[in-house]
Structure 1
Amino acid sequence: MSPQLTVLFVLIYLHCHIALGSDPDPVQDFCIPNLKVGAILTARLDILPCKNATEVVPEDFVFSGIRLPGNFSDTGLASIPVSPAVFPGLNTLGMSFARVDLKVGGINPPHFHPRATEIVHVVQGQVYSGFVDSANRVFAKVIEGGEVMVFPRGLVHFQMNVGKSPATIFGSFNSQNPGMQRIPSAIFGSGIDDELLEKAFGLSSREIGMMRRRFFPKKVKS
């Protein structure tokens, strides 16, 4: 086989591999999980048997849990993620969503979703919103009520309320289990060796310790 054909087959293989990396296409109209089997709810409800279609009701496709903001964190952020784990009607449809509220000056720290592209719609407020591409370029601007912005899959993105009133954002994902990693917590709250972090960020052991105490999960006493 010629080198050119070898390269071609490799590229085709990689393309197919990437195409198969997203949520699978549904093979039926819907699949409301049959929770009578006593299974524990997880984001992968597609592993459960479906309800009989005759038992499915309109309420299976309605969710009322984002009418009000969630609980606010120290960063002024309240987030309500909605996946099939709380809204079984989403099961096998390849999507999920979230309501995000930001107090004045509140932030949604840099994070990324390894399995989904996200599109955000500003319901109200003024939000500095953006992402960083693989060349470390920042694409960010202030978006206002009625505007939308898209964050490509796997890229770090962020938001900050720069207005004078609370902001509300609706985010939608093209995966029922997008996953999320917050950058500060992933670095300082994951148990990476202190010496490596000191060399990577030019911080002292004391400064690393301060960061760990802020982001490392507190141990619960038994």
Structure 2
Amino acid sequence: MNSSKEMMNSILILLLCVLLSSTSHASSITRQNFCKADLNRPNTPSGYQCLPSDTVTAADFKYSFNGKPGIPLPSKTLAFPATVLQLPILNGLGISVSLGEIEEGGFVPVHDHDADEIVMVLKGQLDVGILTPLKSYCNTLIPGESMVVPKGLLHYLINSGPGKAVFLAPFSNPNPVFRFLYEELFANDVPSRILSQVSFLDKPQVRKNKARFNGTG
């Protein structure tokens, strides 16, 4: 990626973060300009308590994905989150971001989360699909293109191009919760015969997926 594309991506990222910040629900945390989270205290509906502002340094506002361990998904995908847990200065701002890397032929399984999301492709090509009961909303994205995924809607991402795909995903929540459909269905103790009945799936497929995702029953 040349320097002009890198500059364009940096500008777009900043604009997206500002947009999410301005449209997110206002936090009830009382703060002047920033509130670095005290992660040693309990989290509350309004966020973490603030550390003394005189202990905050310039390094607290910087974050690098380089060298961070990714969270593997069972689909040739690594997720690198930057939530309030990794970047405590996000506390009270109502935003976070993740970097995703999907190997050729890989995908992010169907899931939803309690935050609005913007999927922005940095490298490669992604098919992004939003699922609703009556209609799907699908787009193919290339570098410099993005797609909005509203809160609570099931969606997926597929690397539909050659080579690795890399994307950035800002969220309107400092610590979004992800709910993967395969975990909800198969990583539980509901007996296979019952799960087959209520999910319209064949018993052999239910048992296969339960074994794959450490479910019982």
TM-score (norm 1): 0.76
The aligned residue for residue 197 of structure 1 is 195
Q: Report if aligned partners of 1:69, 1:99 keep a CA contact under 8 Å in 2.
A: no
Matched, 1:124 2:123: yes
User: Following the alignment from structure 1 to structure 2, what is the Cα–Cα distance between the partners of residues 203 and 127?
Assistant: 28
Matched, 1:46 2:47: yes
Partner SS state of residue 51, structure 1: coil
* 217 and 202 in structure 1: CA distance in 2 versus 1, 3 angstrom threshold: closer
Deviations along 1:47-66, one digit per CA (max 9) or x if unpaired, are 33x22222211111111135
Amino acid at match of 2:112: F
User: Following the alignment from structure 1 to structure 2, what is the Cα–Cα distance between the partners of residues 41 and 31?
Assistant: 15
The aligned residue for residue 15 of structure 2 is none
* 203 and 210 in structure 1: CA distance in 2 versus 1, 3 angstrom threshold: same
Matches within 5 A, 1:2-151: 24-28=27-31, 29-34=33-38, 39=40, 46-48=47-49, 50-66=50-66, 70=70, 72-113=72-113, 115-133=114-132, 135-151=133-149
Of 79-88 and 207-216, deviating more is 207-216
* 47 and 71 in structure 1: CA distance in 2 versus 1, 3 angstrom threshold: closer
Q: CA-atom RMSD, angstroms?
A: 2.6
Matched, 1:184 2:187: no
Structure number, greater radius of gyration: 1
* 160 and 91 in structure 1: CA distance in 2 versus 1, 3 angstrom threshold: same
User: Following the alignment from structure 1 to structure 2, what is the Cα–Cα distance between the partners of residues 162 and 43?
Assistant: 40
User: Following the alignment from structure 1 to structure 2, what is the Cα–Cα distance between the partners of residues 69 and 47?
Assistant: 24
Deviations along 1:67-118, one digit per CA (max 9) or x if unpaired, are 77836544110111111111111111111110000111110000000x2110
Deviations along 1:25-65, one digit per CA (max 9) or x if unpaired, are 55321111346xxx2787979333x2222221111111113
Per-residue deviation at 1:186? Answer: 0.8
Amino acid at match of 2:204: R
